[in-house]
Amino acid sequence: MINALRLAYQVSGIKGYWQKETEILKEYSLKQSDLELWIARCYARLGKYELAIDELEAGYAKHSNRVLFAKVEPAFDGLRADPRFLNLLRRMHLDQ
């Protein structure tokens, strides 16, 4: 895994790194649940905000306790004004 991430970074820079990490996490998520926050973080860093919110929503629907970190995760700074993100925080009682 580390070699794949290193190669992705060398070939495509930071966006390649985040894309490869997303692919790896999606593969792991087939066997292990509760990875939605990490996948959402990768999507947000790629600027794919709709996909990031979709992953956070999936985590919320599965009652993942990790999505609670959405409020403070710096990768989600680009989502802070998005109505869907704000609605998700409200439903988790994190809008204060």
How far is 11 from 5, CA to CA, in rounded Å? Answer: 10
Segments making up each domain of the chain, as ranges = 2-91
How far is 16 from 13, CA to CA, in rounded Å? Answer: 5
pLDDT at 38: 96
How far is 36 from 24, CA to CA, in rounded Å? Answer: 12
Q: Can you give the pTM of this predicted structure?
A: 0.88
Q: Is the pLDDT of residue 73 over 90?
A: yes
Q: Is the pLDDT of residue 96 over 80?
A: no
Give pLDDT tens digits for 9-60.
999 999 999 999 999 999 999 888 889 999 999 999 999 999 999 999 999 9
Encoded tokens for 16: 């390649």
Give the residue-averaged pLDDT of 75-93: 96
CB 36 within 8 A of CB 62: yes
How far is 48 from 1, CA to CA, in rounded Å? Answer: 23
Rg (alpha carbons) of the chain, rounded to whole number: 14
